[in-house]
Structure 1
Amino acid sequence: MTAPVRYAHPEAIVDTQWLADHLRDPALRVFDCTTYLHYETGTGRPYRVESGRRDYEQGHIPGSAFLDLQGELSDQASPFNFMMPAADDLAARFAARGVGAGTRVVLYARGNPQWATRVWWMLRAIGFDEAAILDGGFDTWRAEGRPVETGETRYPAATLVVRPRPGLFVGKEEVRAAIGDPGVCILNALAPDLHRGDNPRYGRPGRIPGSVNVPALSLVDAATRALGPPEAVAAAFAAAGAAPSQRILVYCGGGIAATLDAFLLHQLGYRDVAVYDASMSEWAKDETLPIERG
């Protein structure tokens, strides 16, 4: 009999009942990470970024604070949205928001868990391992009729020691060098139309040559926003040709959806996974980089 597939790091996924039972824990730090992308045409940019703060102010999980991913946790000097800051800089920003030694962090979002997994992956990259994703996020919390509040929460500042894991984010040079390498799987987390090259949202339509497609949203229940069951998620990656023995480089449009695939690969026991941070926002506009369609 084949052993059932299980997520390898269940401590990094909590459900709404667990969170409801632990909301009064003084060491708990809960953050709404919601961001919205408004896709536009004719503007020269793939989308407009909107912070989810307004929705947070109108109602959020009691005791949770808000993290503005683009405005607060991203490299403001970069020409691309959502880029990872230097590790020391990012750690200082998290510490100012109450993340540090002795704290347990739960991250959630509205509509799409990729915003929570992005923050989770960033925390992991600087060596903080006491973070978890709320399965189903705010959507499930509200659907279950659980309480919300409108007052803003600010946690006291903490001390966060940086223990960088430099291999968790990569740039275009490592991705380009990986093309055609059988020891590396380049994996696209974008929707199929973008992977095929039917949609020019990011500039030149198409994909990184040789990359395979596991759309991030295909790994999430469309109704509940809960993460897919381990068996189905594992089957999706296996069908695409992503093997646990390979280094997996995941990309998308701007390094967000890619973190949902990366988080679930990590949960399935893949040991060598990285996110191409600038992703197609950079690749599609750089004429020196190869691209393929079809």
Structure 2
Amino acid sequence: MTNIPPIVTGDWLEEQLQNPALRLLDATTFLKIPEGAGYPELWSGREAYKEEHIPGAAYADLLHDFTDPNGTAPFTIATREQFLAAIEQFGITKDTFVVIYDRGPLVNVDVLASDWSARLRWQLKYEGFDNVAVLDGGFRKWKLDGRQTVSGENDYEAAPWTFERRPQLIVTKEDVKAAMHDDNIILINSLSEADFRGETNTYPRKGHIPGSQNVFFGSHSSPETRLLNSDDVLRDTFNKIGALDPNKKVITYCGGGIAATWNALLLNKLGQENVAVYDGSLNEWASDDSCPLVTL
């Protein structure tokens, strides 16, 4: 099968459910933003998956299987060995394609994005696999459209991972420090305007990385349709900050490296492939007093 687009519709996926090359993954993770200050509460979506999921889907546990438990934050990217142990159960090969969906970013705030799916997609691309898409509107839209769901669990026949890691898709704290002074790099803060301005207390220190520009990851979909805005609208959003300039590199960040992957996915969709994610994001940056932050 030829490469699939980075975003697929419910109609498209429904037609592919019986395709033996499909690897359908439910990446639901639950995150609750506390009232006032404090770190968000996180828990696995495995039980929700068992109760109800799209037919044929297997569960990919981002929180427990695709992160490094020895990392500095809850979503430090898995080592190569950890990733292989988690991914090979899904039988992903050069002859398969992957579609990922989730139930949305937050439990207590209705933000329209599939950033958990985007996180897993980014990890697959980082580890060398390209034929992967995210379901537009996620599980909520699938349900709103009255499409079939099932309970229980599903497995795929395991297969070895044969793809090579792409280190250029991730950056470190030191890379971001250098990027602050590089006119050829666009830094994108993917959090809300309130977070960007320094009006919230979610992270150890308030504000944003100097020189970064704010593109809220939850601003790209229509509240009426729950689907992505048109490419023209998306293009206008990112063109305003020069992020689609083919001569520029883009680095996206957020709080914990999740929302940043949604902006990275949409940039890829629009043709900008020179995009890297700062995995540590503000969880790491704001914990280091030597790393500057500014507020508005």
TM-score of the aligned structures, taking structure 2 as reference length: 0.92
* CA–CA separation in structure 2 for the residues paired with 1:223 and 1:119: 27
1:177-188 equivalent positions in 2, closer than 5 A? 177-188=178-189
Shift of residue 154, structure 1, vs aligned partner = 1.1
Tell me whether 1:54 sits opposite 2:55 in the alignment.
no
User: Which of residues 19, 25, 47 in structure 2 aligns to 1:25?
Assistant: 19
Shift of residue 70, structure 1, vs aligned partner = 1.1
Contact 1:28 1:103 in 2 (8 A): yes
Amino acid at match of 1:31: L
1:250-269 equivalent positions in 2, closer than 5 A? 250-269=252-271
* CA–CA separation in structure 2 for the residues paired with 1:80 and 1:291: 19
What count of residue pairs does the alignment treat as equivalent?
Answer: 285
Deviates further, 92-101 or 203-212: 92-101
Tell me whether 1:38 sits opposite 2:40 in the alignment.
no
1:191-206 equivalent positions in 2, closer than 5 A? 191-206=192-207
Shift of residue 134, structure 1, vs aligned partner = 1.0
SS at 2:267 equivalent: helix
Equivalent position of 1:281 in the other structure: 283
Shift of residue 140, structure 1, vs aligned partner = 1.5
Shift of residue 17, structure 1, vs aligned partner = 1.3
SS at 1:281 equivalent: helix
* CA–CA separation in structure 2 for the residues paired with 1:271 and 1:11: 14
Q: Deviations over 1:189-222 (max 9, x none)?
A: 0000000111121111000001000000001223
Equivalent position of 1:119 in the other structure: 120
* CA–CA separation in structure 2 for the residues paired with 1:285 and 1:194: 16
User: Which of residues 277, 292, 295 in structure 2 aligns to 1:293?
Assistant: 295
* CA–CA separation in structure 1 for the residues paired with 2:244 and 2:52: 42
Tell me whether 1:109 sits opposite 2:102 in the alignment.
yes
Amino acid at match of 2:28: T
Amino acid at match of 1:232: V
Contact 2:208 2:293 in 1 (8 A): yes
TM-score of the aligned structures, taking structure 1 as reference length: 0.92
Contact 2:68 2:82 in 1 (8 A): no
% of aligned pairs identical? 39
SS at 2:117 equivalent: helix
Amino acid at match of 2:289: E
Shift of residue 85, structure 1, vs aligned partner = 1.6
* CA–CA separation in structure 2 for the residues paired with 1:25 and 1:84: 30
Contact 1:15 1:134 in 2 (8 A): yes
Shift of residue 105, structure 1, vs aligned partner = 0.8
Shift of residue 272, structure 1, vs aligned partner = 1.1
Shift of residue 164, structure 1, vs aligned partner = 1.2
Shift of residue 91, structure 1, vs aligned partner = 3.1
SS at 1:11 equivalent: coil
Amino acid at match of 1:279: S
Tell me whether 1:135 sits opposite 2:129 in the alignment.
no
SS at 2:70 equivalent: coil
Equivalent position of 1:235 in the other structure: 236
Q: Deviations over 1:79-124 (max 9, x none)?
A: 2011212234313421123223322111001123111111001100
Amino acid at match of 1:123: L
Judged with a 3 Å threshold, the aligned counterparts in structure 2 of structure 1 residues 256 and 223 are, in CA distance, closer, same or farther, namely: farther
Structure 2 stretches lacking a partner, 5+ long: 105-112
Tell me whether 1:93 sits opposite 2:92 in the alignment.
no
* CA–CA separation in structure 2 for the residues paired with 1:150 and 1:62: 8
Contact 1:186 1:211 in 2 (8 A): yes
Shift of residue 42, structure 1, vs aligned partner = 7.6
* CA–CA separation in structure 1 for the residues paired with 2:66 and 2:253: 19
Contact 1:101 1:158 in 2 (8 A): no
* CA–CA separation in structure 1 for the residues paired with 2:18 and 2:183: 49
SS at 2:99 equivalent: strand
Amino acid at match of 1:234: R
Q: Deviations over 1:27-81 (max 9, x none)?
A: 21111111111123688x5211111122212211011111110111111111201
SS at 2:49 equivalent: helix
* CA–CA separation in structure 2 for the residues paired with 1:217 and 1:104: 27
Amino acid at match of 1:75: D
* CA–CA separation in structure 1 for the residues paired with 2:285 and 2:294: 12
Tell me whether 1:249 sits opposite 2:243 in the alignment.
no
Contact 1:91 1:161 in 2 (8 A): no
User: Which of residues 63, 66, 80 in structure 1 aligns to 2:59?
Assistant: 66
